[in-house]
Every structure is written in structure tokens, then in C-alpha cells.
A and B are shown apart, each in its own frame.
Chain A
Amino acid sequence: MSAAREMLCDTARAVFVEAAAEGIAPVEAAGFSLLLVAEADGGFGGDWGDVNAVLAIAGVAVPDLPVAGLILSGLGEADDALHAAAAVSLMAGAMGEALGLSIEHVNTRQQFGRPLGKFQAVQQSLAVMACEVRAVEAAVAAMAKRLDTVGLDAGAANFEIAAAKLRANRAVGVVTAIAHQVHGAIGFTREYDLHRVTIPLMRWRGAHGNDAHWAQRLGRQVTGFGGRGLWEAMTARAD
């Protein structure tokens, strides 16, 4: 991560702590609606990589606040596909947090005289979960790269946004189920932090296009490419 983006992340963390107590006002005051606005127009001139990094934090810290909408408002009437892209970034952050909480829990919680993480059944479950989280992180990074290459033109990044949102949606089931399973009853309480990411994950899965929506759309785009054309399109878009 570049030094500038590290600084942006630090700022976001600090602002979101305030926002968790006071609502969206501190995020507005910090100028996050200017993140994507060009420097020439008085904005920060950030790219989608920056948006992705900030939203990954927001997905954990303030999942109930409309941070993504606020950032996109800087673009005027943002394409709904960009809202879907923003949702994927939130989801990646929340999934990383669910994995982190799960690892911490199984390494700490003792049953049958040893930490849960020593049991192979638990290890294998967490490995499956980690693969899903990595997949979403890879998808979101590639989507961000494409968006930045095409200057945030959602139409030109339609394949990547569809693929990333669909892949993230499909990961939610595995990630939330395993996170709750390895936590046991404590993860189902109001007091414990896990629901602060798992409930938003379930919400974001249905927002800005559910599985059927994106699968249909992507499937139709791919049949338009044809069998060999899919590979040619996929490589041409990334080279």
C-alpha cells in the first residue's frame, strides 16, 4: 500500500470511530464526498483503489452508515453498477473481519483441554472460509484495477463488477456460516462483535443486485463473447 493510501486509511479509521458514535456527520465533515473528485475541481483526486481501501474499513467500523453513497455522491449521479462495486469493497472488509474474529476465537477458546484451533475439523472449516475471503479480496482488487484503467466508467468495467459482486455474494453464505459455527453460542449474542459484520454481509448480498441479477447479466455477456471469445475478452480486458 502506498504511503498516501496508508494515510488515507489512518484518517478513515479515526473518522469512523467518531462516526460510530455520532452518525454520518463526521464523515461528511472530513470531506469523503470529495475523495473521487479531481484535484483540479477541489477534490482529493483519489482512485477506486482508495475507495476500496476506505470502504473495506467502513465495512467493519460503520457498516450501517451510508459511507459508500457519500463517496459516490462526489461523482454526481453515479451509475448503480458503481454502487454494486462499492458494496463489494464493503463486503471484502467485513469478510476479512469475520475471518480475523474466527481465528482469534478458535486460538483462544479451550474445549476438551485444548484450543478449538487444534481440532482438524475446525482447521479444515477455517481453511475453506479463508479461501472464500481470499477469492473476494482478489476479485475486488482486480475490479478496482479495471475501474481505474477505464476512468471509473462503469459500462467499461461491467464484466469485472458483475463477476466481483456475484463472487462476493456467493462467498457470504460460506463465510457467515463458518464464522458462526466456529464461534458457537457466543457468536450469536448481541454482546459479541461477530453480528456487526455478519448481518451487514447478509444485507449487502441482496443490495445492488442479487445473485440471479448478476449471474443472468454476466451469463448473457459471456454467451455474447462465445466459447473461445470469453478467453480472448478476459485477457484483452486485463493486458
Chain B
Amino acid sequence: MHGCRDMQGFALYPFDPPGDISALRADLRGWLAQHQPQGDVVERANCWASFDAGFSRALGAAGYIGMTLPARYGGGERHPLERYVVIEELLAAGAPVGAHWIADRQTGPLILRYGSEEQRQRYLPGIAKGKLYACIGLSEPGAGSDLAAVRTSARETAEGWRINGQKIWTTGAHLSHVILALVRTEEGSERNAGLSQLLVDLDTPGITIRPIIDMAGNHDFNEVFFDDVLVPHGALIGTRGEGWKQVTAELGLERSGPERYLSSHALFAALIDAAGSDPEPALAVLIGELAAEMWTLRQLSMSTAAKLAAGEDPMVEASVVKELGNAFEQDMPRRVQAVIDCGWDDENDLARLLRALLIASPSFSLRGGTREVIRGIIARGLGLR
């Protein structure tokens, strides 16, 4: 008999941000009513990929970017869970947060944690203003799920680091100012040893960015080539040779956020509105099921954010959020299509959202770690393998 064992092993962290959270939400909703572009409804789905520099600058000026950074770097010195509330509000509203998304979520916190004073002063204020955008250089042609196979090299010379190699699937490289690249700094090193992170300005000579158009016809991905690119010694972020550890910690920030279950919220909202106040039974059932799943995912995501905010490493919990969130979002358009009567080429909002998300949905369990890799992490957390 095991009783409470499992519950104690996986206690839920209470989500308990300081301050008046209702007021924070109300302020932001009021601000969005004034400033959110009234663009195409399809832009509101998957909105963390919607790039709008004007919106990002306005959001930064209003204090909603770099919220957790210290004031001396232009940040808001707010609690991480206050930032979480802001992020979930922006996503639920379908605001176009793509331009600053990676810089705000990952690169800023990483520079604060591992960067030198010079790097912090150089990059963080621009990030907090919503003016400086970042992309992440991890995958390579020979290193996808097997990230430790990274081969792009950086050799230290008298003038600085000399980088040669290629990154691929680099989201937003063509719109970003900097790339945070995982490179092999130790010649002859193998696997996850000898890797370091370099923060490279994308206008440095020798960098070529080529678009990869995805199956929806969008240009999000790129190939990024480094041809004898020379960057200063100060481009190294954190500790030489500790790149693997730094990247692994960063991925925890990437996997558990509300974007893992709110990317398709515009479709759910349109479905609810289309169903009307007296829905037919099949629609009511689907809406009930989706609401139960979404509500549950929100609890899991909030609890993981609380654990992260408490300074713990929620690697397994973050992977649970990603796995369940991906499944929820991938299934949603299929389940909606199964109960509503709408043609593939119909031009009403619901039909266009449905089409866009059906086509986008295969990527949900690929980006940020494939389903198989994520399940492997969870299995290891269970004590298998």
C-alpha cells in the first residue's frame, strides 16, 4: 500500500503572486483595448509567432516587457508570477507578441543570470523597451533532437572568437538583432562537453541568413550560416564549456509557459461564439471537454511557473505541460472540424482559423523539443531508463 507517496512526490506549487493581480489584469486589458491592433483574426491564433515591432515597442513603453529585470537595466523589478499573469493575458487576447517573445522569455533572463555587467548594460535595456529582438541558434543540419551533435565551431584568437558552421530552423533570425548560438569552443570535444553560448550581433560580417518557407507558406524559419565570423571575446555568455548546462536550464523556461495551451485559444473562442447560447448537444460536449482540458492545463502551467519562481528546477513538470498542451492544441482543430459544418475554403473567421490551425498543428509537437524527446525526459523523471 502506497497511499500519499505519489502526491507528495509531485506536490503542486501554489500560484501566489504578490500584489493586486485583479488590478494588474484590469490595467492590461484596458491597455490592450486601446493598443491591440484590430488585424486579421488568423493573426490572433498562434500569436507568439506574430511579429509586430510597433506593438512590441508600445508594450515595452507600457512596462510589460522585461518585467522581472532589475530597474538599473530598464526592467520592472516585478515578481516572475506577475509576468506570468501578463503573458497569459496577452496570449488569451491574441496580441502579436512574436517580435520580442524570445528576447523577453529566454534571452533576457539568461543574460541577467550568466552575462557580464557589460553584456547586461548593452542588451537588457533594449530588450525591456521591446526594441531588441533575439533568436536561438541551437539546431543544425546534423543536430536536431540530438542537440549534443552540434558542430558549429568557435575558436579563440587574439582578436576574438572565430565562428564557422551553420544553424537551421532558426525562428525569426531574419527579424532579430542578435542570435544566442550554442557552439563548440573546444576543438576535438565530444557531445555535450566543450560547448559554449555566444551572443552574436546578426549584422556581423560573414553571417548569411536564408529563409525556409513552411508548409503554411509562412517565413518563420531560417538557415543561418557563419563563414569565418569574427566576434569580440566579450560575446561569450556565461562560462566557457558550460553551454550545455546553460541551454538545458533555458529550455525549462521555454516548455511550461501558457503559450503551450493558449496558442489556439482564438479558435476555441470563435467556436464558443459560433455555438451560441443554446448549443446543440455535440457542440456543448466538445466545448465542455475542451474547457476542462484547458482549465486543467492552466493549473499545471501555473504550478510549474510557481516552482520555477521558487528557484527550483521543474524540468519534468515543464515537460508534462508541454506534452499535454501540445496534445490539446493539436487535437483541438481536428475535434472542431469533426462537429462543425464548414467548408475548407469558407472565408468566415471560424473556417479560416480552423484551416490555419489544422495546417500549423503538426509543428506543435516538434517545436521546443519533439514529443518523443519530451516523453523521454518524463520517463527519466519517473525513474525509468
Contact = CB atoms under 8 A, between A and B. Distances in A.
Interface of A: 1, 9, 13, 17, 53, 56-57, 60-61, 92-93, 96-97, 99-101, 103, 106-107, 117-118, 120, 122-124, 126-128, 130-131, 133-135, 137-139, 141-142, 159-160, 162-164, 166-167, 170, 211-212, 214-220, 222-228, 230-231, 234-236, 239
Interface in B231-265: 265
Contacts of A215: 284-286, 288-289, 292
A237 to B, nearest CB: 10
B277 A100 contact: no
B158 interface: no
Given A126-B382, A167-B293, A215-B289, A239 B300 contact: no
Most chain A Cβ neighbours within 10 Å, of B320, B375, B382: B382
16 contacts: A13-B1, A96-B5, A100-B2, A100-B6, A124-B372, A131-B320, A139-B299, A141-B299, A167-B295, A215-B285, A216-B281, A219-B284, A219-B288, A220-B284, A226-B273, A227-B270
B379 A123 contact: yes
Main SS of the interface on chain A? helix
B318 to A, nearest CB: 12
Contacts of A137: 7, 10, 12
B287 interface: yes
Main SS of the interface on chain B? helix
A130 B378 contact: yes
B3 A9 contact: yes
Nearest to A6: B4
Contacts, number: 195
B303 interface: yes
B285 A239 contact: no
B76 interface: no
Interface of B: 1-8, 10-12, 21-22, 25, 92, 265, 268-273, 275-279, 281, 283-289, 291-300, 303, 317, 320, 323-324, 372, 374-376, 378-379, 381-385
B273 A235 contact: no
Given A138-B296, A225-B272, 4 more contacts: A117-B385, A122-B384, A133-B6, A223-B284
B383 A107 contact: yes
